[in-house]
Amino acid sequence: MKRRKFIQNAALTTLGVAVGATLTGCTDENKETTGTAVAKEVTTSKPVIPMVIATWNVPNATKKAWDVLQAGKSALDAVEQGVMIEEADENNQSVGKGGLPDRDGNVTLDACIMNKEGNYGAVVCIENIKHPISVARKVMEDTPHVLLAGNGAKQFAIESGFTPENLLTEKSKEAWNKWKVEAKYKPIINVENHDTIGMLAIDKNGDISGACTTSGLSYKMQGRVGDSAIIGSGLFIDNEIGGATATGMGEEVLKTVGSFLIVELMRQGKSPQEACEEAVKRVIKKSPNYKDFQVGYIAVNKQGETGAYCIHEWFNYTTYQNNENKNHKADFYNKA
Ligand code: ASP
């Protein structure tokens, strides 16, 4: 059985409204979850490469990425194909097809990818395209730009051969219709499923890449873009140092440029765990209402040593390393 936990009533004061955030992905402490054993340790794994790490309990996605690495492909291929598993999973209501819509019923997606050369590609607020991560890769590889938004991103995707489709599933439409009865913009930290998928991988050559993809906050204002596709916030890779990615309240991650901060802290000698902790503490220091929202980070350094930390309990993450696909509960700040 999965456990529900809701933290409500946070206001997005900078926007003047509160937005319904669905933060999901945690299970009862140390219980078995489908496909993976939940590890008891909460800190780092042994540094081994190749490896994959992803936010939340996503064993199918990490397995896909691992298989791609085992086939001798690059970390870039691994993270793209890994997160595509979640984008295609209609039961995951926070990524790709089946993602919960904005308050007007539009499913809008944000995704970005970074490679070992430090190149970056992203799409924000794209509609009707199931695999925004692959469009982000095409932006990186086939255009002189790094970020395409909205209709332009969709147009580029169609011109590149992607087929537009309806992404609002019956299940998500039903949830939206229920939400509309009260239409209250209350953030919800929900532990039932999982959320934005951020994935980092190191291939057999020791090269690092990362990907991050999301449908963003559920019932957000139309046009809202979070951290996930913004370089340095939702994702950052420096192949000399390591990588980091984020999940949670995007506005807070954006304000502190969390993933870039983590990589820079690792550059200064911090372990991935120490760097994630400091980045979460930066969010806390800057936001007096930190008790009302979740932010979680994962990171890896060049050696394959990992770290994870979040504000509130119930953020977990998955590693595939040393032939083992494992879910871990992240350590957290708010133990009161
Ligand atoms: N970070 C995502 C966003 O703000 C949502 C999430 O991970 O909960 O769009």
Q: What is the mean pLDDT of the chain?
A: 87
Residue nearest to atom 8 of ligand 1 (CA): 248
Instruction: Return d(Cα 298, Cα 308) in angstroms, integer.
Output: 4
From 27, 196, 245, 256, the catalytic residue: 196
Joined tokens for residue 306? 């990992």
Q: Check residue 267 and report its DSSP letter.
A: H
Q: Check residue 12 and report its DSSP letter.
A: B
Q: Separation of 176 CA from ligand 1 center, angstroms?
A: 18
Examine the domain organization and report whether 90 and 158 are in the same domain.
yes
Other Cβ atoms less than 10 A from the Cβ of 152: the count is 14
Examine the domain organization and report whether 39 and 87 are in the same domain.
no
Of 183 and 185, the one with more pLDDT: 183
pLDDT band, very low/low/confident/very high, at 183 (cuts 50, 70, 90)? confident
pLDDT of residue 97 exceeding 60: yes
Give residue-wise pLDDT tens across range 73-85. 999 999 999 999 9
CB under 8 Å to 291, separation ≥6 — which residues? Answer: 7, 311, 334
With tokens 């204002």, the residue in question is 221
Burial profile 98-115: b = 16 or more Cβ within 10 angstroms, e = fewer: bbbbbbeeebbbbbbbbb
**CATH classification of the domain holding 322:** 3.60.20.30
pLDDT of residue 32 exceeding 60: no
Q: Separation of 216 CA from ligand 1 center, angstroms?
A: 5
Which residues line ligand 1 at a C-beta cut-off of 6 Å?
A: 21, 23, 195-196, 214, 216-217, 226-228, 247-248, 250
CB 247 within 8 A of CB 196: yes
Examine the domain organization and report whether 165 and 277 are in the same domain.
yes
pLDDT of residue 14 exceeding 70: no
Examine the domain organization and report whether 71 and 107 are in the same domain.
yes
Q: Separation of 247 CA from ligand 1 center, angstroms?
A: 5
How much is the pLDDT for 189? Answer: 57
**What is the pLDDT averaged over residues 56-71?**
97
Examine the domain organization and report whether 6 and 123 are in the same domain.
no
Residue nearest to atom 6 of ligand 1 (CA): 248
Last residue of a domain, one of 11, 26, 44: 44
- Catalytic residue list contains 196: yes
Task: Please tell me the total count of domains within the chain.
Answer: 2
Examine the domain organization and report whether 11 and 70 are in the same domain.
no
Instruction: Return d(Cα 89, Cα 180) in angstroms, integer.
Output: 24
Closest by alpha carbon to 30, among 44, 42, 15? 42
pLDDT of residue 132 exceeding 60: yes
How much is the pLDDT for 48? Answer: 86
Atom of ligand 1 nearest to the CA of 220: 9
Tell me the pTM.
0.87
Give residue-wise pLDDT tens across range 186-231. 666 544 445 799 999 999 999 999 999 999 999 999 999 999 999 9
| CA atoms within a 13 Å half-sphere pointing along the CA-CB vector of 194 | 26
Joined tokens for residue 129? 């395209």
Examine the domain organization and report whether 95 and 194 are in the same domain.
yes
Examine the domain organization and report whether 135 and 278 are in the same domain.
yes
Domain that holds residue 8: 1-44
Give residue-wise pLDDT tens across range 221-277. 999 999 999 999 999 999 999 999 999 999 999 999 999 999 999 999 999 999 999
- Torsion sign across C-alpha atoms 61, 66, 67, 71: positive
What amino acid occupies position 67?
D
Instruction: Give the β-pairing of 324-329 and 197-202.
Output: unpaired
Q: Check residue 45 and report its DSSP letter.
A: P
Instruction: Return d(Cα 129, Cα 107) in angstroms, integer.
Output: 10
